Amino acid sequence: MKNKKQIFTTLFSVLISVFLISAVAYATTTVGNDVTVGNNLTINGATTTFADTATLSSGNINGTTLTSLFITPKASVATGSINYQKLVTIGDVTGTTAFGFGDVAKPTTGLMVSFGRTIAATSPITDTSFDIRAINKLDNSGTSYDLQGAYIKAKNYSTGKLRNLKGLSIETINDSGIISGSSHALYFGTDGTTITDAVNMSSVLAAYGIDMNGATFGTADIRLKNGETISNSPDGTIAFGSANLTNTGNITVTSGIVSAPAYQIGSGAPFTATDTPTPTQVLLQQASFWPVIISSGDIDINLPAMTTGDIGRHLTFAVTTSGAHAFTVTSGATTVINILSNAGIVAGDDAGDYIDCLITTATTATCVTYATD
């Protein structure tokens, strides 16, 4: 009987001990080394704290916003050996470690953020798959620094052949038969405060929707869907390549000159006695007024064949430096019709005399000679 009582007492003590240990373990469990889990690991607590890095919360509620997974980074610490601080890093950013890629024959995605809506929204709301924000709330009047909402880089470190290198690839797709109100591959907007607001943005030096000033492009700044290009090289010139520019409204030029093949104004380079007697159509499309220097020899300009885009243009050839030589505009590939009996300007005429030619067809020009004598 006494032995049974001792056995019962011992068993009861063991159970109490296990209960107390379990209770303490349930409250706080400290693991000194790595933990390897063969199957799923479920953490039922509200928060999980990583002593040196951050606090991970599940089901975080902040005001009226519910966040399924919330990471609170530790405060920044000034350390002499630290040059950069990163809140979250996935993978090796140097690209020198042999991990991250799976089957070499299959595409690999570093980070994918995705969700789907299967029930129609009950109000005009906007779902966002990936929201990136960088917020400055300190007075930086005494410090000059840059703030970026996002930074994306694709860099090739290898001499191996890459088919394409893209910093950012954007697609907007409507499935077959699906119609949306509008589709934007890239959309720029504001959060309700315009970038020119005098109160909130009074210290902004410049505001740009797209800024390519810091980039260098080998072929063109922008390539459009059918291959047309827009470039800004050399500085001061915006070139549209071989593309036509169609405009339905007014074009206002506040300074400079208008230069267009079908109707150009401005002065071209002077014609001299050493010039080729038949200028090209491309040359004559570069201006509408051409100086002529007859101090060194006779000059006879033979007009080349033009195009329908040139019809209606005036080409004016004016003596700017006189001399003892003659100046004429006669038939080249374009038939020249001279209204006045004088087919040109005779030798010895003065500066200011000129010949004006109107392109009436692609192969016909009517020219009038104006001479002071």
Q: Is 172 within a domain?
A: no
From the list 311, 365, 318, the residue with the least C-alpha distance to 337 is: 365
C-alpha distances in Å from residue 179, one per residue of 96, 115, 120, 126, 172: 45, 20, 15, 17, 12
Chain length of the chain: 373
pLDDT higher than threshold 70 for residue 352:
yes
Q: Is 249 within a domain?
A: no
SS (H, E, C) the chain: CHHHHHHHHHHHHHHHHHHHHHHHHHHCCCCCCCCCCCCCCCCCCCEEECCCCEEEEEEEEECCEEEEEEEEECCCCCCCCCCCCCCCCCCCCCCCCCCCCCCCCCCCCCCCCCCCCCCCCCCCCCCCCCCCCCCCCCCCCCCCCCCCCCCCCCCCCCCCCCCCCCCCCCCCCCCCCCCCCCCCCCCCCCCCCCCCCCCCCCCCCCCCCCCCCCCCCCCCCEECCCCCEEECCCCCCCECCCCCCCCCCCCCCCCCCCCCCCCCCCECCCECCCCCCCCCHHHHCCCCEEEEECCCCCEEEECCCCCHHHCCCEEEEEEEECCCCCEEEECCCCEEEECCCCCEECCCCCECEEEEEEEEECCEEEEEEECCC
Q: Is 147 within a domain?
A: no
> Residue 291: which pLDDT band, with cuts at 50, 70 and 90?
very high
Q: Domain of 296? A: 281-370
pLDDT digits (tens, 9 = 90+) for 202-235: 455 566 777 888 778 888 888 888 888 888 887 8
Q: Is 316 within a domain?
A: yes
Q: Is 343 within a domain?
A: yes
Least reliable range by pLDDT among 128-137, 182-191, 228-237, 309-318: 182-191
Q: Which pLDDT score is estimated for 143?
A: 67
pLDDT digits (tens, 9 = 90+) for 128-162: 888 888 888 776 666 677 888 888 888 887 777 78
Q: Which pLDDT score is estimated for 74?
A: 74
Q: Is 300 within a domain?
A: yes
Q: Which pLDDT score is estimated for 66?
A: 87
Q: Is 345 within a domain?
A: yes
Q: Is 293 within a domain?
A: yes
Distance from C-alpha of 283 to C-alpha of 301, rounded to nearest angstrom: 13
- Chain Cα centroid distance, residue 363: 44
Determine the average pLDDT of the residues in 79-99. 74
More confident residue, 24 or 302: 302
β-strands 289-293, 314-321: how paired? parallel
β-strands 299-302, 47-49: how paired? unpaired
Determine the average pLDDT of the residues in 67-81. 78
Q: Which pLDDT score is estimated for 24?
A: 40
What domain count does the chain have? 1
Q: Which pLDDT score is estimated for 239?
A: 85
Q: Which pLDDT score is estimated for 342?
A: 46
- In the chain, the percentage of residues whose pLDDT exceeds 70 is 69
